[in-house]
Amino acid sequence: MTELADGRWHRLHPATPLLKGGIALLAILGIIVSNLRERLIEWIFPAVDCPPGVCDEDPFTLILDRYLLPTLLGILVLLVVILGLFWMSWRMHTFRVTEEIVEVRAGVLFRSHRRSRLDRVQGINVSRPLFARLFGAARLEISAAGSDANVQLAYLSSANADGLRAEILRRASGIRAREAAQSGEGVIASVAPDARANLADVARQRIAEFSAPELDPALAPPQSVVTMHAGRLVGSTLLSVGMLWFLVAIAGVAVAMALTGAGVFLFLGLIPMIFGLGSFLVNRIVKSLRFSIAATADGVRVGYGLLSTSNETIPPGRIHAVEITQELLWRPFDWWTVRVNLASHSTAKGAAGQRNTTILPVGSREEVLRVLELVLPGLVTDETRLLIEGGLAPARIDDGFTTSPRRGAVLRWFSWRRNGFLLHPDAVVLRRGAVWRSLTVVPTARTQSVAAHQGPLERMLRLAQVRLHTVTGPVTARIGALDVADASTLFREAAAAGVTAIRADRSHRWGSS
């Protein structure tokens, strides 16, 4: 247990003002120095006299000559005031972490006081921008559902940030409350039938018993289930649709060059575009190369970044929908992207500069299944594995999916054979698209509501649409062009499964079950 979580008020890393305003300060210093350079040289080598009428008119010289002392004093006072303000704001910025809440007080003139319940944690992000990394500092962001509901602790020392994250997750999981409840009983009495949960519990209890201050998750880094290859990153970026348009534009320019002969200027116009493309590629690769996604006792940990690093932990039951999609040109390589819906909005960007909802930028089918296993524990078993693989493949007879009837082809020209759904006790799986294939998985424990729609054209065709409402995100779970009877079944079953799942759901306090 880190001492920062002892329930008393603490201050942030002393270098915080420097880290927050550091780059601006450095830039201003740079400007001043570069402006003074000439004069400094002049001071050191006072050789040539200025011709009259040149130096005299420079207001800077005037100030130096006549008001040197007041100016210096003024600058000094200004510096002291600025430093004082920074020091004040750092002093006033305090936080505390208790058993139930995390609280932050900040501001000198405009005070703010934010209190957030730990059991409402949707995710914790530890990021280390390059500049802060040099100082051994890190930013901790505790996300809650809703916009602007996050608690940011910027900056903490790196080890403290890791320790605090572990402690907050431990408290949020409800382990502590459970330990308190059964403190009289032996450990053996608490053995749960689930062996996997057991292991985590034992590990956690050891941690609690020794309350080791040196505990650092970095000592035993979780094993990533995905390894990124530079070749795949470059390839997947180049084979995206946007990139295709870019190539088409270049080809167009080349043709225009050949036809008109006035080519060189057109080619010059392309150069900035090529530079832009290059920097985009380098940026993406630098950010994604060290991508890792791993299971921890407190949820999925997604990390990335080479220079500035970021590390997000999403506790179990905080992922509201998952979608596996494929760019058209990725099909020969069997590459897929995995996106998720989260209730919180982290300010940290995801890998490759994408939103942090892209949980796997690009991966093979095998890796997608492993990621799915992490984000929806319990869903990928030996039985469902085949079903999910069937969901990524073209439609087959008896692959478990209920698909659109033949007349659905009016609305789904190419995909009516594939367009279908699958009801699993824990999740609803929607399979869509023939050209742009996608597979959406919505855990029933996270569905907010279910809707069925039917318009006039659909009524003529005896079809209907079903939508599963989740929190806002990149994934929209809807499936159209279903037979009316199938749609009704899906609506009824999904609504009933949602109710059952709410009753059984314990992920709110994921460690206390």
Tokens of 445: 């424990």
Nearest distance, CB of residue 469 and another protein, angstroms: 4
Q: How many CB atoms lie within 10 A of CB 480?
A: 20
Alpha-helical segments (H) within 189-296: 195-210, 230-238, 241-260, 263-288
**Cα separation, 358 vs 352, whole angstroms:** 9
Nearest distance, CB of residue 393 and another protein, angstroms: 15
Nearest Cα to Cα of residue 149 among 319, 357, 344: 344
Q: How many CB atoms lie within 10 A of CB 430?
A: 27
* Contacts by residues 468-472 (CB-CB < 8 Å, ≥ 24 positions apart): 468/321, 468/428, 468/430, 468/442, 468/494, 470/320, 470/321, 470/341, 470/442, 470/446, 471/145, 471/320, 471/341, 471/342, 471/343, 472/341
Query: DSSP states of 374-400 as a string?
Result: HHSTTT--HHHHHHHHHHHSPP-TTSS
Nearest Cα to Cα of residue 327 among 355, 361, 350, 352: 361
On the 0-12 / 13-18 / 19+ scale of CB atoms within 10 A, 213 is: exposed
Residues making contact with another protein (CB under 8 A): 122, 145, 317-318, 320, 343, 397-398, 401-403, 405-406, 420, 446-456, 459-462, 464, 467, 469-472, 483-488, 491-492, 495, 498-499, 502-503, 505, 507-508
Name 295's bridge partners: 300
- Nearer of residues 134 and 499 to another protein, judged by Cβ: 499
- Nearer of residues 378 and 455 to another protein, judged by Cβ: 455
- Nearer of residues 318 and 370 to another protein, judged by Cβ: 318
368 in Cβ contact with 380 (< 8 Å): no
- Nearer of residues 362 and 468 to another protein, judged by Cβ: 468
Tokens of 112: 């703010």
Nearest distance, CB of residue 404 and another protein, angstroms: 8
Nearest distance, CB of residue 2 and another protein, angstroms: 26
Nearest distance, CB of residue 151 and another protein, angstroms: 17
- Nearer of residues 155 and 416 to another protein, judged by Cβ: 416
- CA triplet 170, 115, 294: central angle to 5 degrees? 35
Nearest distance, CB of residue 406 and another protein, angstroms: 7
- Nearer of residues 105 and 462 to another protein, judged by Cβ: 462
Nearest distance, CB of residue 343 and another protein, angstroms: 5
Nearest distance, CB of residue 378 and another protein, angstroms: 17
- Nearer of residues 303 and 420 to another protein, judged by Cβ: 420
Nearest distance, CB of residue 487 and another protein, angstroms: 7
- Nearer of residues 144 and 156 to another protein, judged by Cβ: 144
- Nearer of residues 253 and 452 to another protein, judged by Cβ: 452
